[in-house]
Structure 1
Amino acid sequence: MKIYSDIFKLKHNGISPKQGSILISEPFAPDAIFSRAVILLAEHNKNGSVGFILNKPLNKTISQLSSEFGKNDMKVSIGGPVENNKIYYIHTYGNKIPNSMKITNGLYWGGDF
């Protein structure tokens, strides 16, 4: 039986991260937050990056976490370990929500409502 000792060595695909990219964590990353995480890169420039973990649902609605949203059944996910005292949101409403930031065509984050 042939043993593939380099089976878990990942090779760089030559594609640089950019705004709108989807990043997939290393399958066996030891970090509890980023283990098996799928991340949407919302912003990426010389000043830094902002990304949101897409596949870590909290199994709670926004109204269960804050009374400011009334009876709203929008699902909430753990977006990541930074600034976790704030609520960030990804949406498709674009300019209908003032000060939204475009991620890619048809996809935005934040804004004032």
Structure 2
Amino acid sequence: MLHEDAKGKPEATVEGFLQGQLLIAMPGIGDPRFDRSVIYVCSHSEQGAMGIIVNKPAHGLTFAELLTQVGIALEEKYLEHAGLQHAGLGGDKPILLGGPVEPGRGFVLHSRDYASSDSSLPVSDGIAMTATVDILRAMARGTGPERSLVALGYAGWAPGQLEMEIQENGWLTCKAEEDVLFSDPIELKYERALAELGIDISLLSAEAGHA
């Protein structure tokens, strides 16, 4: 689950890299773990890349159940806050499968109205990532970020690997719209991300080039 410290923070942004962008899996990506995946890139530098899949639910696991597993009580203020800020999802807010690496570790992507000076990593102007239990405690109290998603695990690439996969038409890339990240129903994020590029999913083929 989420760590009590912030060890292993991703590298800082390097101009021209893909941090803060979305990756959209092409039909011919060749790895069933990433089929129809939309990935938010949290870090991308000469040392490699790290991202969170934002459209794969961990079936049978809700936010309330995750809190129970880590010994945190869901308070009434959270439910009031969630009703206003999370479309009424409350404790039923789904947990996502963030990727195949460290599937037992939790990550929260969130708006930057919440920040922990010790553990929150700014990713873009509006989005940060926190991987400590403190943010879950804040969310359970109703004092967490206005917009958030919680994921278990992440996707990682060795130096140069992601660039090669993009060149080989494994991924499309586009700007990360916050509504696609946080507001869209999970099952519609793939189509919505493609729509941001003006692509009709019914016309998408494995041979198409990258944006």
Please give the TM-score of this superposition, normalised by the length of structure 1: 0.73
Aligned twin of 1:64: 65
Normalized per residue, which structure has more helix? 2
Distance in 1 between residues matched to 2:131 and 2:41, nearest whole Å? 17
Distance in 2 between residues matched to 1:21 and 1:79, nearest whole Å? 15
**Superposed displacement of residue 47, structure 1:** 1.2
Query: Number of matched residues?
Result: 98
Distance in 1 between residues matched to 2:72 and 2:106, nearest whole Å? 11
Counting aligned pairs with the same residue, the percent is 28
Please give the TM-score of this superposition, normalised by the length of structure 2: 0.42
Residue pairs, 1:61-100, within 5 angstroms: 61-65=62-66, 66-71=69-74, 73=91, 74-93=93-112, 96-98=115-117, 99-100=119-120
Q: Which letter maps to 2:120?
A: S
RMSD: 2.2
**Superposed displacement of residue 18, structure 1:** 1.1
Distance in 2 between residues matched to 1:40 and 1:97, nearest whole Å? 21
Q: Which letter maps to 2:31?
A: D
**Superposed displacement of residue 94, structure 1:** 5.2
Deviates more, 1:94-103 or 1:48-57: 94-103
Q: Which letter maps to 1:69?
A: I
Deviates more, 1:47-56 or 1:25-34: 25-34
Tell me the secondary structure at the aligned position of residue 97 of structure 1.
coil
**Superposed displacement of residue 62, structure 1:** 2.8
Tell whether the 8 Å contact from 1:56 to 1:79 is kept in structure 2 after alignment: yes
Aligned twin of 1:24: 24
Distance in 2 between residues matched to 1:61 and 1:93, nearest whole Å? 23
Could you list the runs of 5+ residues in structure 1 that have no partner in the other structure? 1-15
Distance in 2 between residues matched to 1:95 and 1:62, nearest whole Å? 18
Distance in 2 between residues matched to 1:94 and 1:18, nearest whole Å? 23
**Superposed displacement of residue 103, structure 1:** 1.1
Q: Which letter maps to 2:64?
A: S
Distance in 2 between residues matched to 1:93 and 1:107, nearest whole Å? 5
Tell me the secondary structure at the aligned position of residue 43 of structure 2.
strand
Distance in 2 between residues matched to 1:28 and 1:17, nearest whole Å? 23
Aligned twin of 1:41: 41
Taking a change above 3 Å as real, the CA distance of residues 69 and 30 of structure 1, as seen in their structure-2 partners, is farther
Taking a change above 3 Å as real, the CA distance of residues 94 and 42 of structure 1, as seen in their structure-2 partners, is farther
**Superposed displacement of residue 91, structure 1:** 0.9
The C-alpha deviation readout for 1:91-111, integer Å capped at 9, x for no partner, is: 114563232101111100015
Could you list the runs of 5+ residues in structure 2 that have no partner in the other structure? 1-15, 75-89, 135-211
Q: Which letter maps to 1:27?
A: P
